[in-house]
Amino acid sequence: MARARQDRETDTAAGILDVAERLVQVRGFNGFSYADVASELGVTTAALHYHFAGKAELGEALILRYAARFAAALAEIDRRGTDAPAKLDAYASLYLDVLRDERMCLCGMLAADYQTLPQPMRDAVVRFFDDNEAWLGRVLQQGQAAGTLRVTGSAEEAAQTIVGGLEGAMLVARPYGGTARFEAAASRLLASVRSQ
């Protein structure tokens, strides 16, 4: 009996996170309320507060879950053992897949709301980008060592440029609909570090 209740609570929490994530990716963190989430799920706002005391706690849980999924996707790219250029292509495809779902990167949307976020959420957003840049830095170093990538300046600076370029490309592509603008920008961005 206790196990069934725990499973229901886990399912409810996951459902809350699923709805809230989509709302943030479409509207931004300040563009939805607990009432919006409760309405979609057919539950009361009290039920949401049972799982997440407030919107700040919900936001932090969203970032942690998103970052964990993203880290798992990066680990899977590494596990495939492909060369550095293929890893960069796979990385850009993570963004493309989100855009194809007519969403934005969760942490990119939260970065737009950064000044209005509680400090724990701000810290989690920065950690997400830092982790991505660290992974990209390792890939860029791998590619430099293999002679398949060329980086002007440090790998860290190049990684920052790639993250910023992909996030920006998503943002600019959004009002035009579709993915063509993003794909063109991502292709040019990644070509800039490929060895000829």
Angle at 28 between CA 179 and CA 9, to 5 degrees: 105
What is the model's pLDDT at position 117?
97
What is the model's pLDDT at position 195?
87
Average pLDDT over residues 7-18: 80
**Tokens 């570090």 identify what position?**
193
Query: Between 5 and 52, whose confidence is greater?
Result: 52
**What CATH superfamily is the domain 2-191?**
Tetracycline Repressor, domain 2 (1.10.357.10)
Task: Give tens-digit pLDDT for 128-160.
Answer: 999 999 999 999 999 999 999 999 999 999 999
Q: Mean pLDDT across the chain, nearest whole number?
A: 94
pLDDT at 161 over 80: yes
Percent of the chain with pLDDT over 70: 94
pLDDT at 171 over 80: yes
Longest dimension (CA), the chain: 63
Q: Which tokens hold the place of 78?
A: 């590494």
- The SS3 of residue 193 is coil
Question: 3 pLDDT band (50/70/90 cuts)?
Answer: low
CA distance 20 to 43: 14
Domain ranges of the chain: 2-191
Task: Give tens-digit pLDDT for 73-98.
Answer: 999 999 998 899 999 999 999 999 99
SS3 per residue for 60-107 = HHHHHHHHHHHHHHHHHHHHCCCCHHHHHHHHHHHHHHHHHCCCCCHH
How much of the chain is helix, strand and coil, in % rounded to 5?
80, 0, 20
